[in-house]
Copies of this chain bind each other. A is one copy, B any other.
Amino acid sequence: WEGEFFPGIPKIKYEGPSSKNPLAFKYYNANEEILGKKMKDWMRFSIAFWHTFRGTGGDPFGAPTKVWPWEDGTNSLAMAKRRMRANFEFINKLGVDRWCFHDRDIAPDGKTLTESNSNLDEVVALAKELQGSHVKPLWGTAQLFMHPHYMHGGATSSEVGVYAFAAAQVKKAMEVTHYLGGENFVFWGGREGYQSLLNTDMERELGHMAAFLKAAADFKKKIGFNGTLLIEPKPQEPTKHQYDWDAATTANFLRKYGLLDEYKLNIECNHATLSGHSCHHELETARINGLLGNIDANTGDPQIGWDTDQFLTDISEATLVMLSVVRNGGLAPGGFNFDAKLRRESTDVEDLFIAHISGMDTLARGLRNVAKLLEDGSLDKLIRKRYESFDSEIGAAIEAGKADFEMLEKKAMEWGEPSVPSAKQELAEMIFQSAL
């Protein structure tokens, strides 16, 4: 393969909201400062190698639909390298600085672990070179779900041999992520869960998972990798129940097994909604638990019960997402990874660009809306006012854990029937919408 992979596509530029050019940014202006930081530093966008370069359009009822011109139909090492070059051309044309990968996406499985590792090394060496000085992985991860030997899980497999194999694979993936300058390392436990409780020892499996994650945290320190370890909650699919169901479930697991200081969370919006929560709820839950580390930027379909991994184009949702990010003071060393894929029926090379531009612009538009909201200030004021009765002496005593039931009963008797003002939700919604 000689020359460009995307010959018709220029370097994507910011043209502003009035532009009709699908291959230009209308809201994302990387170096523009918003709320005291450059847009690119708020966003820290990353391309997901798997969706963008390994997504085939296959689904449970359909064969692959995407035939990118640079693909030769093989899973060879040579093809893996060519694909990696396409990845970096894509990254550079889009103007982002980060990428994410699974070990088995970027290099083919070998017949043995040794061969797989060697394949990986070869592709990683090329990636290192292509990264140059300004690009690096937002995070790496190990693919512990595709291979049939992971059918019962990796860390939670009923087979000790699989547990060991998974450990070896994570070890290597962590090493190469470190080598590439990755800023985080992610665990997505797609097979860490159960299909049926009838044949499962859930307690034993959870214990194994904790042991595995403890060993991972130990190994990280051993090799001097300073990146954040992240767990990505998802309620189900492919399993009936995934142990990392949602942010609160994962936080409970981390607390129970003494892993709270070692891990943070990678919140995915589509996973949030599959677990019955809004994305904003999951982000706030992670933030409040001190665990918001990264965002998988995508969206689902409110009427669909599986993971559709669509590019986020909803302005309102993007504004709420950015509200959590701003409250968190940003996401660094995490960022926004586009864990989003083209629809199966979108088969033009340019669709890859259009989708990413649209996703980036939507979040950028969200950030601009948050700036408007904060500058206006009336929503914050409304909230502060709601709770002002707790800014009192007795409120302070309660918040300090010093108000016992006897004292409170005395106060209640003294005060009589309490007053309860309107929550002003419709007003809050009106103010919020006015910033969109």
Contact = CB atoms under 8 A, between A and B. Distances in A.
A198 B429 contact: yes
A31 interface: no
A418 B162 CA distance: 6
A13 to B, nearest CB: 16
A292 interface: no
B208 A427 contact: no
Contact of A316 (B26, B305, B315, B387): B315
Interface string A33-70: 00000000000000000000000010111111100000
Interface string A385-404: 01101101011001101011
The 9 A-B pairs of least Cβ separation, nearest first, read A305-B305, A161-B418, A252-B252, A167-B408, A345-B423, A168-B409, A248-B249, A168-B412, A302-B302
Contacts of A406: 171, 219
> Quick one: which of A198, A382, A413 has the most chain B CB within 10 A?
A198
A196 B413 contact: no
Copies in the complex: 4
Interface stretch (A3-11, A87-95, A140-148, A330-338): A140-148
A305 B308 CA distance: 12
Interface in A181-204: 190-191, 195-204
A164 interface: yes
Contacts of A358: 426, 429-430, 433
Contacts of A409: 164, 167-168, 171-172
Contacts of A57: 148, 151
Interface string A236-271: 111011000110110111011000000000000000
12 contacts: A22-B430, A61-B146, A61-B238, A114-B413, A159-B421, A161-B418, A168-B409, A199-B383, A305-B305, A313-B432, A342-B426, A351-B427
A164 B394 contact: yes
